Structure 1
Amino acid sequence: MNIQNVNNTTPNAIQQRHLIQSPDANFFTDFKAAYARYQSAPPTGSSSDAATQNATTTMADVMGLTYTEMAAVRGTSANDQTAYAAILNRAYSQGGMENPVAFLQSLSPQEQGVVQRAHCLAEPFDASTMSKEGAYNLLLPEGYQVDFNHDGIQEVGAGKTITFPPLDAPEQVKQAWLTATQNMDEGDMMTYQLQMHIMLYGINVNDQTSKALAPTDQIDSYREGVDKFLAWLEYAKASTPSDQYARDKAFFSDMKRLLA
């Protein structure tokens, strides 16, 4: 898509931790190729020439920037990172993604512990109780998820997460979001993520699967949603704290401009 009125924005560290995308058609092939390069790289401190050293593939090249950022935040050990990458490579090389529940069940308790820690799950998991989506997302590195039923909620193991922008959002929406939240602290950004999610999907009641209120792959859905937020903000101005009103007015006005 040709993006107009939006500068391509490089995510900052906070934004990077929240970036989620669907694996594209080349994801698994690219991962396996990067993992093979990583495995064949010369040991650290070897006498290889400088050109070879500069070409060495790192774990970040294999797993992606979002995973790497979250591993640093969580303090994931180097051993766990290496072990998790090996599990993913096996899943991608041996057809494990065709039946991710069965693949997770085939792992040893130690390997399941690696997956648990990679996704920062509070408890050991029972793959037999998961949906295909929940199991599939445990076998994707942080930063990649699928939403098979398009309800705007990604199952990760037994847990559920929401994402904004949605996985199928137009590129202009993704760039507008990055630009509008570039200098925002994490708490405020997460608040606006939730508000924008509700704009698209409404409020989930009694854990029922919901459908988007408007097509999430069309930019007009976001334009109309932002306009409604701005109209509601003016309607509720008298009962809204002035600092919150100013903050929300600035954010949604910025989004409106960036989505124009």
Structure 2
Amino acid sequence: MSIQNVNNITPNAIQQRHLIQSPGANFFTDFKAAYARYQTAAPTGSSTDAAKQSASPTTLSDIMGLTFTEMAAVRGTSANDQTAYAAILNRAYSQGGMDNPVAFLQSLTPQEQGVVQRAHCLAEPFDTSTMSREGAYNLLLPEGYQVDFNHDGIQEVGAARTGTFPPLDAPEQVKQAWLAATQNMDDMTMMTYGFEMHNMLYGINVNDQTSKALAPTDQIDSYRDGVNKFLASLEYFKASIPTDQYARDKAFFSDMKRLLA
């Protein structure tokens, strides 16, 4: 099966929790419009009211997206925190907060900062005095959306540093191939292969030094070449790899090679 046969894969629940994308050109406009409809949705009391509601978002999931909703359920984020976080994002997007996200976060009350912290499951309260623009910006995006301003393959979320595979600028073909190859994987196995594929593109990050991609991450040939190198390395080190691990890795990378062909 080649990449032409795997377009428009629907992510399963595990994949959805790890699905990260860049906010598109209309993201903020669409969010504000959806939030306004959410706020003004009339309660169902007649067939006319029901018709109005059916044409507009009536739940936070419609506004915040499936990945946010999945992660909120996994983390046990309270309904109050979800509602309060959506309101904070709407303010940021409506009042120019994304032009200077650090300043916007500084303007929040301690209670509001706590909402942002819990929405992103941060272990400690965040410190805006040491936060980068990227770190602040990503705190003001719902789970499932991130930016990577310096294109180092690492997204800062507050003080946290997270890696994503496929990268935010990966071709759609690569994203679809990844969804097809990992469709039946458990969470940990998918994360392991994502980590290996990320290292394939960016190498090993040492001492949190900013790195650049070893090959253009927006070109499919970079992924084809990387997978071929993985397969060659597997054969070279076959004698020193446990048989079951070799079989699993061989199957996965062979599948990726076929899907990217």
Match of residue 159 from structure 1: 160
Structure 2 Cα separation of the partners of residues 38 and 7 of structure 1? 32
Q: Is residue 33 of structure 1 aligned with residue 33 of structure 2?
A: yes
**SS at 1:161 equivalent:** strand
Structure 2 Cα separation of the partners of residues 212 and 84 of structure 1? 34
Q: Which runs of 5+ in 2 are unaligned?
A: none
Q: How does 1:86-165 map to 2 (within 5 A)?
A: 86-165=87-166
TM-score by length of structure 2 reads 0.96
Q: Which runs of 5+ in 1 are unaligned?
A: none
Residue 206 of structure 1 and its aligned partner are, at CA, apart by: 1.6
Structure 2 Cα separation of the partners of residues 55 and 217 of structure 1? 36
Match of residue 83 from structure 1: 84
Structure 2 Cα separation of the partners of residues 56 and 227 of structure 1? 47
Are the counterparts in 1 of residues 164 and 198 from structure 2 also a CA contact under 8 Å?
A: yes
**SS at 1:4 equivalent:** helix
Residue 205 of structure 1 and its aligned partner are, at CA, apart by: 1.1
Match of residue 18 from structure 1: 18
Q: How does 1:209-220 map to 2 (within 5 A)?
A: 209-220=210-221
Residue 56 of structure 1 and its aligned partner are, at CA, apart by: 4.3
* CA displacement, residues 6-65 of structure 1 (integer Å, 9 cap, x when unaligned): 24210000000000000010000000000001001124xx41423234334121111011
Are the counterparts in 2 of residues 202 and 213 from structure 1 also a CA contact under 8 Å?
A: yes
Q: Structure 1 residue runs of 4+, over 6 Å off? A: none
Residue 129 of structure 1 and its aligned partner are, at CA, apart by: 1.0
Q: How does 1:133-212 map to 2 (within 5 A)?
A: 133-212=134-213
Structure 2 Cα separation of the partners of residues 230 and 48 of structure 1? 62
Cα RMSD (Å): 1.0
Structure 1 Cα separation of the partners of residues 138 and 46 of structure 2? 38
* CA displacement, residues 112-154 of structure 1 (integer Å, 9 cap, x when unaligned): 0000000000111111210000000000000000000000000
Task: Work out the number of aligned pairs and report it.
Answer: 256
TM-score by length of structure 1 reads 0.96
Structure 2 Cα separation of the partners of residues 242 and 7 of structure 1? 33
Match of residue 47 from structure 1: 45
